[in-house]
Structure 1
Amino acid sequence: MAKTKILFITHEMSPFLELSKISEITRQLPHAMQEKGFEIRILMPRFGNINERRNRLHEVIRLSGMNIVVDNNDNPLIIKVASLPAARMQVYFLDNEEYFQRKKVFRDEHGKFFEDNNERSLFFCKGALETVKKLGWSPDVVHCHGWFTAMVPAYLKTVYQNDPAFKDAKVFYSLYNEDFDQASLGTKYAEMAGQVDIDPEKLKDYGSGSYIDTYKGALSFTDVVVKSPGAQHPELDEYIQKNSIRVFEPASDDDYEAFGELYDEFVNEEVSA
């Protein structure tokens, strides 16, 4: 029997970048699933404060060289990889000089949210899926972590829905308490995604690009929402209930038995709302 394939897409992962609890979850959960026999791939941005030498990143020439279109501009995509020997896992890093080679991640030295975070997110979301296609690997589950991945579910359910690499993939989206509630990606986030890729009407739930609207947009294309213990989102809870989105609430972040059972169930059976 073929191994279940899980793609993890995240903006942070320990030990490479540690901004929040997401970094620890995206380090431990893939490892635990690999130990259970799942086939794992992990993708994240190569932000400028990730030390290449210390973490032994090196470019993957056969995967690099693509251009990702954002706001009608071609942006070169460089793919790098690092190994976690203790876990026998590889992590793929998406790099671009203009978007990621900064000393700060999402805010400048004065704490101001970067104005082009919407472009940076779209570049990463689309680039991640194009990278997986180039790998020649077809995931059964795509599990997204963090607001930076918020357009991945939309791309999967529209642009890539008939692509052989993703046509059978199910989308998981994890909700956390993130440092994004006082910022916004703006209405241009959905507008740019819809320029050449998606019918803008399908992206209406991304709304203003606010903290809540960004998540609503992502959840509107999600098969299972994973609620991290302690995450509080009353407005999103109402949205989830109204739209009959399946919810998975693990007893703890390391409830790996439950995660493993869910991944397998979701792949092997059609999940009803």
Structure 2
Amino acid sequence: MNIKKKLKILVVSAEVVPFAKSGGLADVAGSLPLALARKGNDVRIAMPRYKEIEQTMHYITDFPVQMDWRKETCIVRGAEINAGSEKNTAAVPVYFIDSYHYFDREGMYCHLDDGERFAFMCKAVLEMLPKIDFQPDIIHCNDWHTGPITFLLKNKYGDNGFYKGIKTVFTIHNLQYQGNYPKDILKVFGIDDSFFTPHQLEFYGQFSFIKTGILYADVINAVSDTYAKEIQTKEYGELLEGVLEIREDDLYGIVNGIGYEHFNPRIDKLIYKNYDLENIEVKKENKENLQQEVGLPIKDVPVIGLIHRLVDQKGLDLIENVFDKLMKHDLQFIVLGLGDPYYETMFKKMQEKYPGQVATRIEFNEKLAHKIYAGSDIFLMPSRFEPCGLGQLISLKYGTIPIVRSVGGLADTIHEFDADTKTGNGFVFQKYSANEFLEAVERCLLVYNQKKDAWDYLVKSAISSDYSWDKQAEKYVDLFNVAVDKKK
């Protein structure tokens, strides 16, 4: 394997920071390409141009895309993300797949024709390549929206010499989101009915975007090593465990990194005051400012932060079951997020019941999220399942100690802290149990309240940890080379 070869890489994602975001997929798709570019690779990004994207961009080209019996115009627009560091001034081009018919509307997702919208994106991305004269070694497809690219490349475009050497890597960010649509969508793709079988594209009577990506990609990647193993089991496989077992030899797991250009208390412009190891005491000032902003008493008690989509996956029922017991401790609890109305109401009621201890903000607020990372002492992620998780990695960098369930990427990145041996970087529980979760919180509070030297060591160690994309990008380069070297 020639891992020193510089690669041409097209990263395709439905959302990319800083242009459009609904979750962690956007953070990954906006940060990994920058790290790959800093290593000298020719990296470019393709994504839809949603109506909400306001950044300045320029016209590149346009062309018709066959969608069933009609043609829809694709307009490709361009912009750049600066990937530079102090030693490198690389920029990553971004190609926006624009269509007035499919993307000139409010909201990225939850439209009745989402299947057709992302089918258009998949076809347009492939047809764009010769028109912009870019022949990548690798198309890195991310999550269900991009799965059909792997099939189309092999079965619809493979006879065209331009596409013959292109390989695909398909990354599963969350297997729960699958993109399953009625069989009629085959016509939109121009795919023959003969492919609609259980061994190929059919999935419980529907066409599955994610199954297609898994079956036809040259290499498959999950966003942590543990998650790659979990999704081959019935408990976490979301009915696709059999398909993943078939591809077991081509399935890898790479933990996500985070972009320290965005998440770094030393340079973060969104927090109250910057700090690092040299002036760690300033973290306390961030805490006091946070308490003031969210309306909690300014006092030296442990502040626990929770920043999540408020959905069942995040283990919020565990918090609900032990919340009254938690509130018997002298602590404060800050919640930020949107999601299931049940959990939104639950956290609002908690604030009403414990107004001096709980602050609930039901909103998406990137600025406040950074302030919570910086101002909290403890970060909660008691997830039912977690493919990778970014929150625990971000919290470490801000010296905010995570409490997690040992599942998916959380198991790969957070290990139980031992105050005597000074090993570990957080507090961990195994079983999906409210009592085990409460015990983990109480172990954490014990160290915070009674073992100050150990807590200070833990905080400094957390800030010093390195989960940067620059480190993880090297593993992606190796994985891309596995795909490049793979025989057809």
Report the TM range for the smaller structure's normalisation.
0.7 to 0.9
CA deviation profile, 1:151-205 (whole Å, cap 9, x unmatched)? 1111101111122332011111111226746x742222224323xxx33323533
Q: Which of 192, 203, 220 in structure 2 is aligned with 1:199?
A: 192
**Is 1:15 aligned to residue 18 of structure 2?**
yes
**Is 1:238 aligned to residue 242 of structure 2?**
yes
Q: Point out where structure 1 has 5 or more consecutive residues left out of the alignment.
A: 108-113
Q: Which of 147, 167, 172 in structure 1 is aligned with 2:169?
A: 172
1:165 match: secondary structure = helix
1: CA distance between counterparts of 2:180 and 2:120? Answer: 17
Distance 1:98 1:212, change over 3 A: closer
> 1:69-148 counterparts in 2 under 5 A?
69-87=66-84, 88-107=91-110, 114-148=111-145
Q: Which has the higher helix share?
A: 2
The residue identity in structure 1 corresponding to 2:193 is P
Q: Give the number of aligned pairs.
A: 255
Distance 1:28 1:212, change over 3 A: farther
> 1:144-223 counterparts in 2 under 5 A?
144-177=141-174, 180=177, 184-194=180-190, 198-204=191-197, 205-207=200-202, 213-223=208-218
**Is 1:259 aligned to residue 476 of structure 2?**
yes
Give the drift of 1:3.
Answer: 3.1
1: CA distance between counterparts of 2:116 and 2:223? Answer: 27
2: CA distance between counterparts of 1:261 and 1:244? Answer: 18
Provide the identity percentage: 24
Give the drift of 1:18.
Answer: 0.8
2: CA distance between counterparts of 1:155 and 1:209? Answer: 21
1: CA distance between counterparts of 2:205 and 2:121? Answer: 19
CA deviation profile, 1:190-227 (whole Å, cap 9, x unmatched)? 24323xxx333235333258899332122221111110
Equivalent residue number for residue 57 of structure 2: 57
CA contact (8 A) 1:225 1:245 kept: no
The residue identity in structure 2 corresponding to 1:261 is D
1:154 match: secondary structure = helix
Give the drift of 1:133.
Answer: 1.5
CA contact (8 A) 2:181 2:207 kept: no
Give the drift of 1:243.
Answer: 4.3
Q: Which of 36, 46, 51 in structure 2 is aligned with 1:33?
A: 36
The structure number with the bigger radius of gyration is 2
CA contact (8 A) 2:169 2:483 kept: no
Q: Which runs of 4+ in 1 moved over 4 A?
A: 208-212, 230-233
The residue identity in structure 2 corresponding to 1:199 is D
The residue identity in structure 2 corresponding to 1:13 is V
1: CA distance between counterparts of 2:10 and 2:149? Answer: 12
2:157 match: secondary structure = coil
1:69 match: secondary structure = strand
Q: Point out where structure 2 has 5 or more consecutive residues left out of the alignment.
A: 85-90, 258-468
1: CA distance between counterparts of 2:214 and 2:474? Answer: 24
TM-score (ref. length: structure 2): 0.49
Give the drift of 1:245.
Answer: 5.2
Of 201-210 and 87-96, more deviation after overlay is shown by 201-210
2:19 match: secondary structure = coil
TM-score (ref. length: structure 1): 0.84
2: CA distance between counterparts of 1:10 and 1:223? Answer: 18
Q: Tell me which of the two structures has the higher relative contact order, counting C-alpha pairs closer than 8 angstroms and 6 or more residues apart.
A: 1
